[in-house]
Amino acid sequence: MKWSNEYKVHYYYTDYNTVLKSSYIARYMQETAWYALKNWGPTPEYLTENNLAFILIKINFKYYEEIHEDDTIKVQTWANPPKGLIFPRNYRIYKGDKIAAEAVSSWVLMDSKDKNIVRPDDYKNKDEFMAYDDEELDFTVQRRIKMPEDMNEYDEYKVKYSDIDTNFHMNNVAYIDVICNNLYNDNDIMSPELKKKMLSLELNYINEAKFAQTIEINKGTVICSISDDNKGETTEEYYMKAKVKGSEHGCFEAKVVLTNK
């Protein structure tokens, strides 16, 4: 079973090249999954009444076609049957007949009172979790992201009111804005000539960040390839490893692959 919604892309969701921002791709996916839960269950109300919450732990995006202002897109989402403790959820965005983006994600079900993970096999009302589809995408999430040895760049981000959701911590998609902000340097000139086309984004959530906390981000960049056609095309990998300031525990880790064409 796949749930789908159609959207027309607003110009204020796009960047300086009128390309839909990665965080808004994630927002469209998140909103579509929210509608799926509200209609097929377990509904947000059911989860709240039973002190349950789905917690996103990993997500991997692949981008194939650029989405622009005024494009009409169809967003699909579907859940695969649980695997151990994990509830897998997939996403796909169509722009016309072409697949523009896909994502795979891993979730756990948590008891919001005692903060313990609930095993799918142990949950009493399994009928609430039966809206599954067997299709699996041809890529998956990684257990860990292998970081390069050289991570000598540094940035900080203070969590703001606009980042917080109903779980009272930083919303999943807000991290993507933080990551994308770290793909640019202060000396970059924003113009149509500045091309940074995202090919993929992997994001592992380790520990939550709350309002007014400061996230410390260590960064590293690896140039993967240089084209031999004299067009100056490069592919770069950006790595980020973050923790909340004052904590010994990690917050998130990410890997972004970009091309300048």
Nearest to 67 by CA among 113, 99, 7, 20: 20
User: At which of 141, 162, 196 does a domain end?
Assistant: 141
CATH of the domain at 153: 3.10.129.10
What pLDDT, on a 0 to 100 scale, did the predictor assign at position 190? Answer: 81
What pLDDT, on a 0 to 100 scale, did the predictor assign at position 219? Answer: 96
Domain that holds residue 58: 1-141
What pLDDT, on a 0 to 100 scale, did the predictor assign at position 231? Answer: 62
Q: Report pLDDT digits (tens) over 115-161.
A: 899 988 777 677 777 789 999 999 999 889 999 999 989 999 999 99
Distance CA 105, CA 80 (A): 10
Same domain, 202 and 118: no
Same domain, 37 and 117: yes
What b/e readout covers 28-47, taking b as 16+ CB neighbours within 10 angstroms? bbbebbeebbeebbbeeeeb
**232 pLDDT higher than 90:** no
Same domain, 98 and 207: no
* pTM for the predicted model, two decimal places: 0.93
DSSP 193: T
Q: Report pLDDT digits (tens) over 46-78.
A: 999 999 999 999 999 999 999 999 999 999 999
Number of domains in the chain: 2
Q: How confident is the model at residue 169 (pLDDT cuts 50, 70, 90)?
A: very high
Same domain, 170 and 105: no
